[in-house]
Structure 1
Amino acid sequence: MRAVLLGGGLALLISLLGTRVAIRMFTNWGYGQEIRDDGPTTHHTKRGTPTMGGVVVISATVVGYFTAKIITQSPPSASALLLLFLFVGMGLVGFVDDFIKIVKQRSLGLRSKAKMVGQTIVGVVFGILALSPALADDRGKTPASRHLSFIRDFDSFLLPTVVVIILIWLMITATSNAVNLTDGLDGLAVGASAMVFAAYTLVNIWQNNQSCRISPSGTCYEVRDPLDLAVVAAAITGACFGFLWWNASPAAIFMGDTGSLSLGAALAGLAILTRTELLLVILGGLFVAVTLSVMVQVSWFKTTRRLTGTGKRIFRMTPLHHHFEMIGWEQVTVVIRFWIITGLCVAAGLGVFYAEWVAGS
């Protein structure tokens, strides 16, 4: 538990102070954000705001985690190292995307195919390593499972390794893109992510206390390294809150794809490594809603254009938060109300998680 508190506290402090330094450096270097011309006109004033702040979030998390491990003199676990690999690896894909935007002075960075290639490489490597027998513990438990899971594995569904790797890739890609889509208003994505990571910190601590290694029972959890995953989750939570101080409206810095892709991938990684893959749909309900709004909008536009020759839209603009801006909501109002929705989703997810344990005990 000391490592959880240290990891979260150190990451918070590093992010809070480090973001201020990054704002000064990125401003001097001219690393400013480009804005979509077809977006809300109120966003045009944000052009030139420093971006790539996700570098600070990632750095604070990694330094906070390893410093906590050094102080507590406990070795890193395979699960935590895999999660950090996924977190940093997807952050590198986002960094390349952000850097191209800055160099080319445009709102589009990597082409969609190139970005997908990067996400695929990181996701597939993570999946292969997470299922590797070489990383199994003394009980033969690998970091990831070949079963589908909600709050724990569905033991009746044992999937082929290739199928599991494909599902892991799909989940990582979908979740990283979902957080990326949500990152359109000051503080929205990082604030919502902080709440979900905080929820996973609690989930991991509970799984550790009820671990089958510590107290075997019908309701114990077969997770390889729950307490160490809690340290990483706490570190990311602290880093997000520290960054939010500077990213809240009016934002002094944006985290860019460097931050949004890495945070989304880490959420997927936590769900996979804790055997709570479908629970993430509830905990991250806001990200699901934002992604669905884009899918519905595109599908409806293409369908109506094919049938009538004129494409029609359900929302004034997607992702969903821009729709509410277009109908007259202030940006701060949208962000706060979406944070409230995230809080309700997190409360519902934790409630379902605990209720399942109570029902089985």
Structure 2
Amino acid sequence: MVDVMLAGGISMAVALLGTKPFIAFLVRRRYGQFIRDDLIHHHVKRGKPTMGGAVIIGAALVGYFGSHAMLQILSVTGVLKVTHSGISLSALLVLFLLTGLGLVGFLDDYTKIRKERSLGLTAKQKLIGQTLVTVTFALAALLVTDEQGLSPASTAISFIRDTHVDLAFAGPAVAVILFIAWANVLIAGASNGVNITDGLDGLATGASVMVFGAYTVISMWQYNQGCDVMPGLSCYNVRDALDLAVVSCAIGGACFGFLWWNASPAQIIMGDTGSLSLGAALAGLAILTHTQLLLVVLGGLFVIVTASVIIQVISFKLTGKRVFRIAPLHHHFEMVGWSEVTIVARFWIIAGICIGAGLALFFGEWVANV
């Protein structure tokens, strides 16, 4: 518990204190955001410092590794009796997704700045980058085992926990290929979902804080009810559950500290550097906590906003008509006349409802099996 609190506190402090000098650096280098011409409400944001996701990633890394270092110091000095201090493969895999997709996002943001346009990397370039990171993550998560032979990930499709739908039905070799493909779907979907939602000041950042908070709670519960601690029908066979709570809280804390500067009127934008990395980290947590499909509920706001884009595209191609004035959904409400702050507040409420529903499903399943 102490390491979870330390990780969140350190990362929040680093993001809170480190964002302002980073903003000054970006202003000196003239690294500003470019805005779509059809988003007339946002032309005032043109030139606003972007790539703020680099602060979130850096703060999360400092929070995670700093918490382990501090816990070790407290243990050595006898100030605190430590029951958990090891850096786990599961947490490193989540951080790998965070930094790997963050790098793809950084290249996208930098391309926009360098070429002075609202479009960065091509779809093909983004796909190649996402695929390289995801394949590396998937192979390590599935094939690297501990002394008990347990790997961080499972070939079974999971909801609250692993279901009976197992990709291993096709044989070991094919199961690995299918798992890599499934991981690609989850990570690409989550990263692009957060990316699409990141269109208003503080919207994606605030929603991400809530989802990472939910995964912190889920991971801690899985640790406390782990099969090695509390064996039984309702126990969780999740590797490194407590350390997943540490890394989740570190990322959530970093987002929380960054939100001080990203809330309306935002002084900095997270950019693709932040949105792609946060979505990928959420997908990584879903895979490693064996709650893959539960992410659809917990991240319901991201799903709704992404669905609005899909609906708009399908409707226009089939009928030539638009369902919304403009997509994604939050921009539609801007065109209707809602203020940006109102939209963000109400969308945060929706995000909170989705998270409440997801946690209710998670704990309800456990209660039903007790």
Give the shorter-chain TM-score range.
over 0.9
Aligned partners of 2:167 and 2:179 also within 8 Å: no
Task: Give the structure 1 partner of residue 82 of structure 2.
Answer: none
Is 1:34 the counterpart of 2:34? The answer is yes
> Secondary structure of 2:5's match?
helix
Q: Given the alignment of the two structures, is residue 274 of structure 1 paired with residue 289 of structure 2, yes or no?
A: yes
Amino acid at match of 1:85: F
8 A Cα contact 2:141 2:152, kept in partner:
yes
Partner of 2:46: 47
Structure 1 residue aligned with 2:256: 241
For 2:317 and 2:124, the matched residues in 1 are separated by 21
What are the Cα deviations for residues 152-188 of structure 1, in whole angstroms up to 9, with x where unaligned? 1013524312111100011101110000000000000
**1:125 CA displacement:** 1.1
Q: Which residue matches 1:59?
A: 58
The correspondence for 2:318, drawn from 280, 284, 303, is: 303
Supply the distance in 2 between the matched residues of 1:81 and 1:172 (Cα, whole angstroms): 16
CA distance, structure 2, for counterparts of residue 44 and residue 280 of structure 1: 34
Report if aligned partners of 2:49, 2:269 keep a CA contact under 8 Å in 1.
yes
Q: Distance in 2 between matches of 1:215 and 1:34?
A: 53
Displacement of 1:138 in angstroms is 2.4
> In structure 1, which of residues 211, 215, 221 is the aligned counterpart of residue 236 of structure 2?
221
- Per the TM alignment, residue 136 of structure 1 is displaced from its structure 2 partner at its CA by 1.1
- TM-score, length basis structure 1: 0.96
Q: Tell me which residue corresponds to 1:340.
A: 349
Alignment CA distance shift 1:161-1:248 (3 Å): same
In 1: Cα distance, 2:165 partner to 2:31 partner: 51
For residue 78 of structure 2, what is the aligned residue in structure 1? none
Give the match's secondary structure for 2:49.
coil
Partner of 1:327: 336
In structure 2, the residue matched to 1:94 is 105
**Unmatched runs of 5 consecutive residues or more in structure 1:** 305-310
Alignment of 1:145-160 (within 5 A): 145-159=154-168, 160=175
Whether 1:21 aligns to 2:28 is no
% same residue: 60
Deviations 1:23-46 (A, max 9, x none): 11101110111111012x120000
- Structure 2 spans left out of the alignment, 5+ residues: 73-84, 169-174
Aligned partners of 2:56, 2:192: CA distance in 1, in Å? Answer: 18
Q: Encode CA deviations 1:237-285: one digit per residue, 9 max, x unaligned.
A: 1100100000000000000000000000000000000000011011000
The one-letter amino acid of 1:266's match is A
- Per-residue deviation at 1:323? 0.6
Number of matched pairs: 352
In structure 1, the residue matched to 2:172 is none
Q: Quick one: which amino acid aligns to residue 94 of structure 2? A: L
SS of residue in 2 equivalent to 1:280:
helix
Letter in 1 for 2:8: G
User: What is the RMSD of the two structures over their aligned residues, measured on CA atoms?
Assistant: 0.8
| Alpha-carbon displacement from aligned partner over 1:180-211 (angstroms, at most 9, x marks no partner) | 00000000001000000000000000000000
